Structure 1
């Protein structure tokens, strides 16, 4: 988080015109402008070609890669199901980082069935302040790893908007590098040797959102319990409980007030890399994911989303969160603050999906910049 990231996507140059059709062209009988006609053609191109990306940070060096994101309808005759999603990213850095990922949301039969998951290979360095909420910037230390992870969960609708699911979580960590006199060793952290873990995921969710990737109204609640038993080959025996609650209001036109609250609770012999991690590109934006970690995490955020003009939108948010060893250890004076602003560019008018640029900030001059598809939550 000490690094200053200078992230530039292809969209900032040529890509700034690869956006969706303006609402102004939807008036019946009105001829689309040349700008809108070009946008329509560019949007079709965007659905076919991957997007080049470039970024730079002091810890990662120069990063180059390709990103691809598509929303599709598995059955054109099915006008009820939400669109399915396929996203791919591959990137390499001058400091040896490698990231290759494919994530999918498959939804069909009038939303009755869903299979959500991802497969990822990552080789990189990460940063940690230690384990716990009471940390200081001077304790920042780096560790490296190679990881393969495969997560998949299938869901069945059992009542209107209510699902139950069963899935798995497989991860394999190798090439672990860390300071043998550093914080992780001093904290007697679990997971400092190569290991493989197999998890079984039990989940339920309620989802009445009008759009999974850019909600204007509705509610979302998910509850999951993942356990890693020895009998299926997990090197460490532990479990994780996750709760995610969201609510969306549409007070007028396309203005949205979005609210989210989450908590994570871990028990057992939890590897340090799989503790409850605060921060990232979706919650507590601005904080490097995992810089603060422990057995318990609570966080919440409120975001205001509004259109500016044509394909452009703006968001701003404020959030707070913290980690602790147990719920009994939570204290009001230990919460960290997150706030920021984001730019939105619509890249899929059919499914009302945005490309987002978020600038997040926190205490002690913490900051982060994120580029991704769809809303943060």
Structure 2
């Protein structure tokens, strides 16, 4: 789970160099004007051209790819709807990983409708420590699985800041490769042969954020309840509930304190690849997503975001979380710790959207580097 982020070191040096140069010439308006002019040119490049991804991790090896992120208004005539988003990522690694993702937030008709969709294909040799919270970082098992997934939430405004609607999810898991001594085979864990998910359910949101992609104030409460019955074509019959609460405080100037707490609950015959998974690029950063998994997951994080100079900013956070087979088995002794910090570079001044570079850590040598657009939450 240790990561050696070559890109983070390079970009950190560039950011420090740029900041240091600007600090010694801050009084020179002509230099500042040249810097602002350069920023505008770079924003145009980010608007039309993808950004390269070059990272290294022990799990994936060297990863190369392209990432694209755009915030825009669907209609120039619609001055009420908040900006929409389109994000794409394509990456390949030297250890056989493939990841192709397209996601969108489409907001239209004077903010009355939101369509939030996600498509992903991935071929991922991934590391699993087991199922449950009482696992060891030394007991790592490699599992390879292919996945094609499409999900969408269609939401209609019910009242001010309140939305409700339907959720759909169709996924296919195939090409599962397990070690002959895998606990998944030994314990006859559902999902060892792959399968199809077809789910339908309900989604609701309370969203008062001033900016969906870099909030300074407001709150978000998002809930989804999705059923996967065999009658619709699912191989395994189960249900998944998810709740995500966020609150943003602006104590002074443009500094932000952001708080998030989430909970997941799965019931029924849940295949191992659909269990609630801890870690990733947005929550419990530093932990490889899915290393810890079970039917129940709870986590929370607090992040402090501060501007530094011009387009540059810094952030730091602390988080905690754990998994369990049921809520009654959650206890304070089993929570894992995540902490870290990152650099922010504004790439869209009109919509105040950042490029983020984060480095997350945890006890026992856990670490992870993340390159993405918009804030983690």
Q: TM-score, structure 1 length as denominator?
A: 0.93
User: CA 1:111–1:127 in structure 2 vs 1: closer, same or farther (change >3 Å)?
Assistant: same
Partners of 2:62 and 2:344 lie apart in 1 by: 25
SS in 2 for 1:79: coil
Aligned pair in 2 of structure 1 residues 14, 362: CA closer, same or farther (>3 Å)? closer
Matched, 1:341 2:361: no
Cross-structure match for 1:302 = 302
* Deviation readout 1:184-213 (Å, 9 max, x if unpaired): 223432101031110113110100000000
- Taking a change above 3 Å as real, the CA distance of residues 121 and 86 of structure 1, as seen in their structure-2 partners, is same
Q: Distance in 1 between matches of 2:210 and 2:321?
A: 28
Structure 2 Cα separation of the partners of residues 163 and 67 of structure 1: 30
Q: Is contact 1:9–1:54 with CA below 8 Å preserved after alignment? A: no
The 8 Å contact of residues 6 and 57 in structure 1, kept in 2 or not, is answered as no
The alpha carbon displacement at 1:179 in A equals 1.2
Change (3 A) 1:110 1:328: same
* In structure 2, distance between residues paired with 1:158 and 1:58: 47
The CA deviation string for residues 67-89 of structure 1, in whole angstroms up to 9 with x for no partner, is 11101100112222111101111
- Whether the 8 Å contact between 2:3 and 2:368 is mirrored in structure 1 is no
Aligned to 1:43: 43
Instruction: Name the SS of the counterpart of 1:251 in structure 2.
Output: coil
Q: Distance in 2 between matches of 1:52 and 1:5?
A: 14
| Structure-2 residue corresponding to 1:205 | 205
Output the CA distance in 2 between the equivalents of 1:83 and 1:208: 14
| Secondary structure at 2:35 match in 1 | helix
Partner of 1:25: none
Partners of 1:40 and 1:294 in 2: how far apart? Answer: 46
Cα distance in structure 2, aligned partners of 1:3 and 1:205: 35
Per the alignment, residue 26 of structure 2 pairs with: none
Moved more, 221-230 or 175-184: 175-184
The whole-number CA distance in structure 2 between the counterparts of 1:16 and 1:118 is 35
Can you list the C-alpha shifts for 1:350-369, whole angstroms capped at 9, x where unaligned? 00000111111112121111
**What's 1:142 paired with?**
142
Deviation at 1:98, TM superposition (A): 1.1
Q: In the TM superposition, what whole-angstrom CA distance separates every residue of 1:78-124 from its partner, at most 9, and x where no partner exists?
A: 22211110111111122221111111110012211000011111112
Instruction: Please report how far the alpha carbon of residue 238 of structure 1 lies from its aligned counterpart in structure 2 after TM superposition.
Output: 0.4
Given that residues 300 and 320 in structure 1 are in contact (C-alpha distance below 8 angstroms), is that contact kept between their aligned partners in structure 2? yes
- What's 1:61 paired with? 61
- What is residue 106 of structure 2 aligned with on the other side? 106
Contact 1:225 1:242 in 2 (8 A): yes
Cα distance in structure 1, aligned partners of 2:176 and 2:184: 12
1:177 paired with 2:170, answer no
Gaps of 5+ in 2: 23-29
CA distance 1:49–1:248, change in 2 (3 Å) = same
Post-superposition shift, 1:174? 1.1
Aligned residue for 1:219? Answer: 219
Distance of 1:295 and 1:142 partners within structure 2: 21
Structure-2 change in CA distance of 1:111 and 1:32 (3 Å): farther
Aligned to 2:25: none
Aligned position for 1:238: 238
- Are the counterparts in 2 of residues 130 and 187 from structure 1 also a CA contact under 8 Å? no
Between the aligned partners of 2:164 and 2:329, the Cα distance in structure 1 is 32
Q: 1:16 to 1:96 in 2, by over 3 A?
A: farther
Instruction: Name the CA shift for 1:126/1:199 in 2 (closer, same or farther; >3 Å).
Output: same
Query: 2: distance between equivalents of 1:357 and 1:6?
Result: 12
1:1-377 equivalent positions in 2, closer than 5 A: 1-7=1-7, 33-377=33-377
CA RMSD of aligned residues (A): 2.2
1: CA distance between counterparts of 2:245 and 2:3?
Answer: 32
SS in 1 for 2:48: coil
How big is the shift at 1:145? 1.0
Q: Is the 8 A contact 1:10 1:53 kept in 2?
A: no
Please give the secondary structure, in 2, of the residue aligned with 1:246.
strand
Preserved CA contact (<8 Å) 1:5 1:58: no
